[in-house]
Structure 1
């Protein structure tokens, strides 16, 4: 995990071509005191690391992100108001260890992130 105790992955469902997860943000994590004081938001870089962390757990190996096609941060995630997130990822195998991936983060009512890019899984476990 990028920043320990920032979030918990409370549910992880893995299928051959997709992953779905439920995530609970820790609104008391110190990162929210600095990003931003009085109006905390879940940083975009942490959202991308969350995607990698979910894939890391699903594939049980290290994950790299060699290429990003597009990332759209549609709405801000305020951990005090939106502590529970739904992450959906689908992927198509490009070659043995490389996957074209689309992903989204939402809360069942609003989308917060849409992602298209490439993830690469490590051969080492």
Structure 2
């Protein structure tokens, strides 16, 4: 896990290829000391990493991001206001890798929309 101690998984539910994962963000994490000290904001690349880590956890495979499209950051994730995130994903496994379509939501707002392909990284 690249994001050690950044978040904990509260719960995951699954219906077929659809997953809903509830996360708690550690607002005291080191990331927020540099991004930004007086007004902490979760970096977009960290939000993208959450999807990769959850795809790995849900598939049991080591993955490497090969392509991301339709990446849209639509709201700020402030750890002081948004300690909870919900990742809604559709994960489709193939022989070459894993396709993911997902949204990250906080306080009933969508913070990120992403379509990604992860290559299996043995």
Tell whether the structures are fold-level matches, with TM greater than 0.5. Answer: yes
8 Å Cα contact 1:10-1:24 kept in structure 2? yes
1:121 aligns with 2:115: no
Give, in angstroms, the shift of residue 101 of structure 1: 2.0
Deviations 1:1-59 (A, max 9, x none): 21210111111223431222000000011110110111001111111110011111111
CA distance, structure 2, for counterparts of residue 116 and residue 61 of structure 1: 18
CA distance, structure 2, for counterparts of residue 40 and residue 30 of structure 1: 11
- TM-score, with structure 2 as normaliser: 0.90
Stretches of 4+ aligned residues off by more than 3 angstroms: none
Q: Any gaps of 5 or more consecutive residues in structure 2? A: none
User: Structure 1 residues 111 and 25, CA, compared in 2 at 3 Å: closer, same or farther?
Assistant: same
CA distance, structure 2, for counterparts of residue 97 and residue 13 of structure 1: 25
What is aligned with 1:55? 55
Matched residue count: 122
- TM-score, with structure 1 as normaliser: 0.88
